[in-house]
Amino acid sequence: MYSFEGQNCNAVWLKCAEALLKEPDEDFIVVDSRNGKTHELPHVLLTISNSVERYAIDRLPPINIAFALAEVVWILQGSANAKVINFWNSKLPKFSGKTVVYAGAYGYRLSHYFGFNQIEAAYNALREDPITRRVVLTIWGSQTDFPRESFPRYSDIPCNICSMLKVRDGKLWWSQIMRSNDIFLGTPYNLIQFTVLQELLASWLNLKVGAYSLYCDSLHLYLKNQKEVKNSVISSNSSTNIPENTDRFELDYEQTATVVKMIYAKMVRAIQNEITTKEHEDFLAGLSHTPTWQNIYRVIMAYAASKHNNLETMNALVAEISNPALYYCWKNWKARRKST
């Protein structure tokens, strides 16, 4: 087993990237796949002691932070609507299929697929019995995900299998199990998705955030992405240069569900209609009790304004982002877009 540990997601991502750039040996192998050859490390454990610092800022090209946060809202809403999330990442159909709904959508799996809302159930179970070892969020469904005659039944097969939650010493510890993880395209976004869920559950339960552990049965780097990952490692900053994620989730479970529903409705509308600066200001005023969700909304909608070529609205939203980490990620991504 390979093990990588660090203080934050960026540091651990870099350690994994460096390992996958090395030449193959008796453990490190080259494996072919439907998308090309990969360098693969089997049986990999990542441990992040401060998972609130969740952004892999050294990844080049920079991550699409607006897509990452839109996907968080999409997941929390329990949506599988492909059209909504494709607006923030037009390349998704290439990997997940050209379809109306994504069959393996994590939010749908967690909220609807098994007949109940697992996130809500986890919150209630840990609130009633904090020492329980029985809280497992399940994503993988054998009836639909298991290959038939060696072929997947559809394109969108979940990479995340399950999450195991435990409360110890006043902290919420999170263990994530993945069958397959692409260090370049997948890992930076997966870290954001599930560390947000960890922090949200911890905030609802009035707990501190404990370590985040991620087990990948196959952590791999596509050879076609070697150049980008190598550039990321060469250009990486020291941990002291990472802008701090100053946002902390402030709302209880019911309030969070209400805000997520409101933001998701705005996302749906933003796909078709340009929302004015004044409308954004009015909406943000209604979120004055939660600066964290205000920042998330600003980033998501700045991207939408950009796609509608409304630079005035985009700039107005970005100017009010108060979280240094999100502002940094947005500026990096925007600079990347200008250079292409």
Assess contact for 109 and 145: CB atoms under 8 A: no
* pLDDT value for 155: 74
- 82-123 pLDDT, tens digit per residue, is 999 999 999 988 877 788 999 999 999 999 999 999 999 999
| First CA to last CA distance, the chain | 39
CA–CA distance, 298 with 303 (Å, rounded to integer)? 9
| Global confidence as pTM | 0.95
- 124-160 pLDDT, tens digit per residue, is 999 999 999 999 999 999 988 988 766 666 778 999 9
* pLDDT value for 251: 98
- 273-306 pLDDT, tens digit per residue, is 889 999 999 999 999 999 999 999 999 999 999 9
CA-closest candidate to residue 53, choices 246, 290, 189: 246
Q: At a CB cut-off of 8 Å and minimum separation 6, what does 126 contact?
A: 132, 135, 165, 167, 172, 201, 205
Lowest mean pLDDT among 23-27, 126-130, 222-226: 23-27
CATH entry 3.90.550.10 includes domain 2-68+100-241: no
